[in-house]
Amino acid sequence: MESVMTMTQESGVGDKVRVARKLAGWSQERLAREANFSASLVRKVERGRAPASPAFVAACARALRVNLADLLEQPYPRQTRDEQQVHAGVPEIRRELAAYKIEPDGAMNARPERELAADVARASAMRHSVNLGDLGTLLPGLLADLRLAWHSASGAKRERLFGLLAEVFAATGQLVYKLGYIDLSSLCVERYEWAAAQSGDQLAVLAGDYQRAGELIGTAE
């Protein structure tokens, strides 16, 4: 059974698509043609009877020439205590994304690389399983720990730590996107590109190019 939050999101997005379509003076059939989706799906989404996939919303935003965020209820509303807990780590994530280059004070010692790598692997597993609750709890401290670690490292170890940091920025980007924080999702792409460039891993750099392409598509630019 769909959660109340999911049903509310789908209905809200559908209503925003309907309003934007009417403001443009378009029929459902024209929006379907311009967005390259079926008119049946447009009708169902507008009525809240079908999910508005990211691809659908992005296509409608491009066709209607509106910002993606204008069609989304973002950040998504918090209807339960669990949902409130998922959002609770976002202020600290925002702070770490802003302080990403700032050198920490010397009062703390960096955690061992193997411990950090294990936590990054945990974060990646949570990301792929869409375990947002535990991921949101893990990420703020992990971002801070990696910032401390790379500042106190050099050479190959520093590059490896930047590789781990890039993975964490990717996981963070997925979390905040799914929670509806589009501004932070865009910032995570920038931070990923920066960390990947420091890692010496060309594959990670190419993955950053892929993320950037997805960012441009998702924002309908």
**Domain boundaries, given as residue ranges, for the chain:** 4-71, 81-218
Region of poorest pLDDT, from 13-17, 143-147, 159-163: 13-17
> Percent of the chain at pLDDT above 70?
84
Judged by phi (left if over 0) then psi (alpha if -120 to 50, else beta), residue 78 lies in beta
Is the bond preceding residue 75 a cis peptide, omega within 30 degrees? yes
Q: Which CATH superfamily is domain 4-71 in?
A: lambda repressor-like DNA-binding domains (1.10.260.40)
Please determine, for residue 6, whether its predicted confidence score (pLDDT) is greater than 80. no
Determine the pLDDT at residue 7: 38
pLDDT digit string (tens) for 70-88?
787 666 655 666 667 778 8
* More confidently predicted of 180 and 44: 44
> Environment class of residue 81 by beta-carbon count within 10 Å: exposed (0-12), middle (13-18) or buried (19+)?
exposed
With contact defined as beta carbons under 8 Å apart, do 172 and 146 qualify? Answer: no
